[in-house]
Structure 1
Amino acid sequence: MSRNGDPEGGEPALPGPSSTARVRSGRDPFLVLCRCFSVITSLTAILCIAVNVLSAVRSFKNGSDVFDGIFRCYAVVIAFFVVLAETEWGFIITFWKVLEYWAGRGMLQIFVAVMTRAFPDYSESQRDLVLLQNIASYLLLACGLVYVFSGLLCIGLLKRSRQEKEITREQAINDLEELERRREELEQMLLTERT
């Protein structure tokens, strides 16, 4: 068969170079949505880190509120773990398996939101900081609640299975591209030998 499928040539029917273009389609919309939500959660956790750092600095400067400063330092460390969990870095997931599950991740986010919101100082001089604390804590609380409810509905499990399928599909596409490149090299070698 020729490349077109005609039986006259002696060549087997091989896919044309555009076969990978047909195989490659857009990304999975569900995974894109999950990535976007993960970025939003990371940015919100970074906002919580910034707010807690500012609060800790102000607490230590006053000198009278050392305990609040120490509390804020703990909130910074735990919020940093929230950011790391959203990257889904294998090292973090290996040591803290609970962060692989969305319900566990959501509970951690809710905890950081409560820590960020705790002990607000309503004096006029710190009104801007209290506003930032409220914004950061309520945003992270909302993200945490979404994670907890999604985890209870097994959405995280669905995401992991779709990620595995996407990785397998990408590997298959890469293998197909490698085979096509190798086929083209062999065809070129055949052509040069015939001439």
Structure 2
Amino acid sequence: MSENIEQAAESPPPSGDRDGGASVPARPDLFLIVCNCFRLVTSLAAICCIIVNVLSVVRSFKNGSDVFDGVFRCYAVVIAVFVVLAETEWTVITQFWKILEYWAGRGMLQIFVAVMTRAYPDYSGQRQELVLLQNISSYLLLACGVVYLISGILCIGMVKRARQKKEISREQAIKDLQELESRREELESLLIVDRV
């Protein structure tokens, strides 16, 4: 029996190399990278909408004449914060608001925030830079919302979640394999010490 243990300790491992674990690193999933980039663009558009609405709230309450616009903009800020939080895909958010887990629901919320940001434009010409930022951010978020809505209808969100689960399980398998390799090396060193 001791001869079998010595032969097992001296023979090379059947797969992979001795020092690295997995021999071929897996390529990152291009689809998930594109989805993450789109999430980033959507978050930036929602943050721009928050900035525009906060500036409009300050301007509305400072003038004192347009209180309804200020209150409307406050609601737009709160809902735009939900859009940003939904794009983080934080489990606490999706646990309490299940509709934000689905892309169609997320898209409808983004379209709603874009419309709220675009509402009540200032055509008096006093703050042209604010109107320009308002137009850019609202149309960008509107485009992101339409893409999310169409993608949600085509069930692309389900494909993304399935690929994410596969990626997480692959990373966990690599981690488990590395732990097994380190444990095997520890056992081999113990066998060598016992032999001496």
Alignment TM-score, normalising by the size of structure 2: 0.92
Query: Residue 140 of structure 2 aligns with which residue?
Result: 139
CA distance in 2, matches of 1:10, 1:128: 77
SS in 1 for 2:54: helix
**Identical counterparts, % of pairs:** 67
Structure 1 position 124, deviation (Å) = 2.1
SS in 2 for 1:125: coil
- The within-5 A match list for 1:50-129 is 50-129=51-130
* 2:7 pairs with 1:10: yes
Query: Residue 20 of structure 1 aligns with which residue?
Result: 22
Query: Residue 154 of structure 1 aligns with which residue?
Result: 155
Structure 1 position 173, deviation (Å) = 0.7
Structure 1 position 13, deviation (Å) = 5.2
1:48-95, Cα deviation, whole Å (9 max, x unpaired): 000000011000000000110000000000000000000000011011
CA distance in 1, matches of 2:122, 2:182: 65
| Unaligned segments of structure 1, at least 5 residues | 1-8
Query: Residue 131 of structure 2 aligns with which residue?
Result: 130
Structure 1 position 26, deviation (Å) = 2.1
Structure 1 position 192, deviation (Å) = 1.7
CA distance in 2, matches of 1:166, 1:62: 53
Work out which structure has the larger RCO, using CA pairs closer than 8 Å and 6 or more positions apart in sequence: 2
CA distance in 1, matches of 2:23, 2:52: 47
CA distance in 1, matches of 2:27, 2:51: 36
The ranges of structure 1 where at least 4 consecutive aligned residues each deviate by more than 4 angstroms after the TM superposition are none
CA distance in 2, matches of 1:163, 1:31: 7
Contact 2:21 2:181 in 1 (8 A): no
CA distance in 1, matches of 2:185, 2:57: 63
CA distance in 2, matches of 1:52, 1:93: 25
Bigger mean CA offset, 35-44 vs 13-22: 13-22
1:109-129, Cα deviation, whole Å (9 max, x unpaired): 000000000001112221111
Structure 1 position 97, deviation (Å) = 0.5
SS in 2 for 1:157: helix
| Unaligned segments of structure 2, at least 5 residues | 1-5
SS in 2 for 1:124: coil
Two-structure CA RMSD over aligned residues (Å): 1.4
CA distance in 2, matches of 1:169, 1:77: 38
For 1:58, give the aligned amino acid.
R
- The within-5 A match list for 1:33-48 is 33-48=34-49
Query: Residue 4 of structure 1 aligns with which residue?
Result: none
CA distance in 1, matches of 2:45, 2:97: 21
Structure 1 position 18, deviation (Å) = 3.1
CA distance in 2, matches of 1:96, 1:179: 40
SS in 1 for 2:123: coil
